[in-house]
Amino acid sequence: MSGTAFSAADVGAPAPTAAELLAFVRRTAEDTALVASLPLDPEGRTWLRLEGPGGSEAWLIAWPPGTGTGWHDHAESTGAFTVAAGTLREHSLAARLPADGWKTLELSEDIDRTRRLATGQGRAFGRHHVHEVLNESEHEHAVSVHAYYPPLPQIRRFSRTGAVLRLEQTERPEDWQ
């Protein structure tokens, strides 16, 4: 991987911070050879697992036109992502949701946030950050780099109708690796 990743977690090393994850995804997104090596599928997302800093989980992801993640969170993991090519839109909630014990929540007004992230732009986020990421282009792929620490223990998937957010599914690593 042309020198953009750190080595795997050093035993006893401190956990990477959100700022360190963001610095990693930004550096990795600048590796044009790595970004160009990811196959682009016109129908679905493609990805490549990367070696992240301090034992973090990292991914290079290609987004065909019109694709997205749906509403989800990354459980107890902090994370960061940067757009390496194209443009992505992130819709997120400006509130930390309870970790457990609910199936349906009514969201308060003014909770929605939207960011348009072009090539070279990214962001970090904390635990239980609920968002969806979309490639709204009708013609162009987008590529992004993501890192999470600790490695994703689960992803919770949600549906949203107006102000109502409903927990639909919980995925574990064996579901996506």
Q: What is the CATH number of the domain that holds 77?
A: 2.60.120.10
Between CA 4 and CA 37 the distance in angstroms is: 14
Residue 163 makes CB contacts below 8 A (sequence gap 6+) with 106, 107, 108, 109
Residue 69 lies in a domain: yes
Number of domains in the chain: 1
The secondary structure of 5-52, three-state, reads CCCCCCCCCCCCCHHHHHHHHHHHHCCHHHHHHCCCCCCCCEEEEEEC
Residue 146 lies in a domain: yes
Residue 105 lies in a domain: yes
Please state whether 20 falls in left (phi above 0), alpha (psi between -120 and 50) or beta: alpha
The 10 Å CB-count burial string (b at 16+, else e) for 16-45 is: bebebbbbbbbbbbebeebbeebeeeeeeb
Residue 125 lies in a domain: yes
Residue 153 lies in a domain: yes
- Domain range for residue 125? 18-175
- Write out residues in the chain with pLDDT < 70, as ranges: 1-12, 176-177
Q: Are 69 and 130 spatial neighbours (Cβ–Cβ below 8 Å)?
A: no
Residue 75 lies in a domain: yes
**What pLDDT sits at residue 118?**
98
Residue 52, φ and ψ in degrees, nearest 5? -95, 170
- What does pLDDT average to over the chain? 90
**What pLDDT sits at residue 128?**
85
Between CA 25 and CA 130 the distance in angstroms is: 20
**What pLDDT sits at residue 12?**
63
Residue 150 lies in a domain: yes
Residue 154 lies in a domain: yes
Between CA 122 and CA 16 the distance in angstroms is: 17
**What pLDDT sits at residue 1?**
35
